[in-house]
């Protein structure tokens, strides 16, 4: 004789979910029917300490700001790699020194490239 205990539990979960979804739909429909729909200029404007807003609320930032921020993060992360290298320099020996020299050289070339392209110019 098969047990139907699991099916009954799933039936209770299904009923519970249907009641929840029905209640959520009822609340949304009720708020839509009873809510006010007056559109006012003051209501749609951004609040700036009681003063009328000047200009657009969405400011556009120059792309150079993002480039400088990305370069800062890139060269800041370099320090994360230099610190453990400096701690273990004796254990790494000459090969470790050469590897870090190559790493710093590549980053230096990247900085030189960004500098030549004018990415660090703040006008």
Q: Please indicate whether residue 41 or residue 119 has the higher confidence score (pLDDT).
A: 119
Nearest to 74, CA basis, from 40, 43, 107 = 107
Angle between helices 89-117 and 63-87 (to 10 degrees): 160
Q: Is-contact 111 75, C-beta < 8 A?
A: yes
The mean pLDDT of 56-77, rounded to a whole number, is 80
Residue 79 pairs in a beta bridge with none
Instruction: Report domain extents, the chain.
Output: 1-34, 63-117
Q: In this model, does residue 59 exceed pLDDT 90?
A: no
pLDDT score, position 7: 80
Least confident segment among 22-31, 39-48, 83-92, 98-107: 39-48
Q: How far is CA 99 from the centre of its chain?
A: 33
Q: Is-contact 59 65, C-beta < 8 A?
A: no
State the pTM of this model: 0.45
Residue 48, φ and ψ in degrees, nearest 5: -130, 75
What average pLDDT does the structure give for the chain? 83
């Amino acid at each position: 004789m098969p047990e139907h205990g699991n099916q009954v539990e799933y039936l209770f979960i299904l009923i519970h979910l249907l009641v929840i979804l029905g209640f959520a739909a009822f609340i949304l429909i009720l708020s839509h029917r009873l809510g006010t729909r007056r559109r006012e200029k003051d209501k749609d404007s951004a609040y700036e300490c009681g003063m009328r807003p000047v200009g657009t609320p969405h400011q556009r930032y120059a792309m150079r700001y993002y480039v400088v921020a990305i370069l800062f993060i890139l060269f800041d992360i370099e320090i994360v790699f230099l610190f453990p290298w400096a701690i273990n320099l004796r254990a790494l020996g000459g090969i470790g020194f050469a590897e870090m020299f190559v790493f710093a050289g590549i980053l230096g070339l990247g900085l030189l490239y960004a500098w030549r392209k004018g990415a660090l110019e703040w006008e």
